[in-house]
Amino acid sequence: MESIGVLMACPMNSYLEQQLENRFKLFRFWTVPDKSSFLASHKDSIQAVVGNAFAGADAKLIEALPKLEIVASFSVGLDKIDLAKCKEKGIRVTNTPDVLTEDVADLAIGLMLAVLRKLCESDRFVRSGKWKRGQYVLTTKIKGFLFPFVHFVSVPFLTSTIFQLFQFTGKRVGIIGLGRIGMAIATRAEAFSCPISYYSRTEKPEIKYKYYPSVVELAANCDILVVACALTTETHHIINREVINALGPKGVLINIGRGPHVDEPELVSALVEHRLGGAGLDVFEHEPEVPEELFGLDNVVLLPHVGSGTVETRQAMADLVIGNLEAHFLKKPLLTPVV
């Protein structure tokens, strides 16, 4: 298979890159200065494209590669691939489901804890030396009110720093999209005695959780709203001003889906104006650009799209990409077919 041309859309994973180079004729698209000329020169040799959550295969790229047979995504999401164009041209599409489910669900719970318990802010408090200089005051929510619980340090204090730390156990968790990842998040949240509810395109009769027929209703009836659905035309900006206002000043938004699920300017204004209680964000609308207004907020936790970012999971994802490519060119059944 060394003669089969594979176009890698952008830098993804060193293990994946090495495995592709060992098996195929690998082209690194991000290193090409003149992409149009490159595609014109190699259009008859490239038979596969490997993409991810940042770059895939749009209609323009697909049209430029007449010999393209398969697009393998190093991601579970497919929003960077023109699926309609692939179906039209008979191009196979694969992704990497299941292997990343547990890591993404773990991270969602981690974000909930980090936002509610102010883990990042508390870490900075210690690292900055403030703990040595002053009083450390915690506050907890009891029946809608905040009461201080004071922990004194053993040295004379000069200042007082107040953190509003909220309990996670028992919070109502609403999940948008109850697929593999959504279900894994629900199972974990249940271990914290959290009542679970959900929104999806259709109700799932076999699921015991409370179903709401709209995202607004779901937001109005939960403390933590988690975005775990696929990004489609219908789910673009599914988190808008109405949903944010329904979630309210005590609510927390967690996004481990895709950045464009959220109307980012509306989210920023809601957080700045305290119309939303907090947010844990692993994804952003224009990655790697992040609204600078978020940097100074202590009720927000920001991560650089690392939901599946463990060594073990990224290797398993890479193995799936390689396995799908090999299966296709050996005329065997694909491991994780989408199209």
All structural domains of the chain, each given as residue ranges with its CATH number in brackets, are: 5-95+312-330 (3.40.50.720), 100-140+164-305 (3.40.50.720)
Query: Taking the alpha carbons of 176, 181, 186, 192 in that order, is the dihedral positive or negative?
Result: negative
Residues forming the active site? 258, 287, 305
Instruction: Tell me which of 310 and 138 has the higher pLDDT.
Output: 310
Q: What share of the chain is helix, strand, coil (3-state, %, to 5)?
A: 35, 20, 40
* Residues contacting 36, CB < 8 A, separation 6+: none
Element (H, E) at 313: helix 311-329
Tens-digit pLDDT profile for residues 119-165? 998 999 899 999 888 865 664 443 333 333 334 333 333 344 455 67
The pLDDT confidence band at residue 166, using thresholds 50, 70 and 90, is confident
Measured distance CA(232)–CA(139) in Å, rounded: 40
Averaged over 172-176, what is the pLDDT? Answer: 98
Beta bridge partners of 73: 51
Q: For residue 50, give both structure tokens.
A: 């490997």
Tens-digit pLDDT profile for residues 206-246? 999 999 999 999 999 999 999 999 999 999 999 999 999 99
Statement: residue 47 has pLDDT above 50: yes
Q: What is the pLDDT of residue 108?
A: 98
Crossing angle of helices 180-190 and 101-116, rounded to 10°:
50
Mean of the per-residue pLDDT values for the chain? 92
Tens-digit pLDDT profile for residues 62-117? 999 999 999 999 999 999 999 999 999 999 999 999 999 999 999 999 999 999 99
Q: What is the pLDDT of residue 147?
A: 36
CA angle 237, 192, 226 (to 5 degrees): 5
Q: Which of 251, 220, 227 is nearest to 177 (CA)?
A: 227
DSSP 51: E
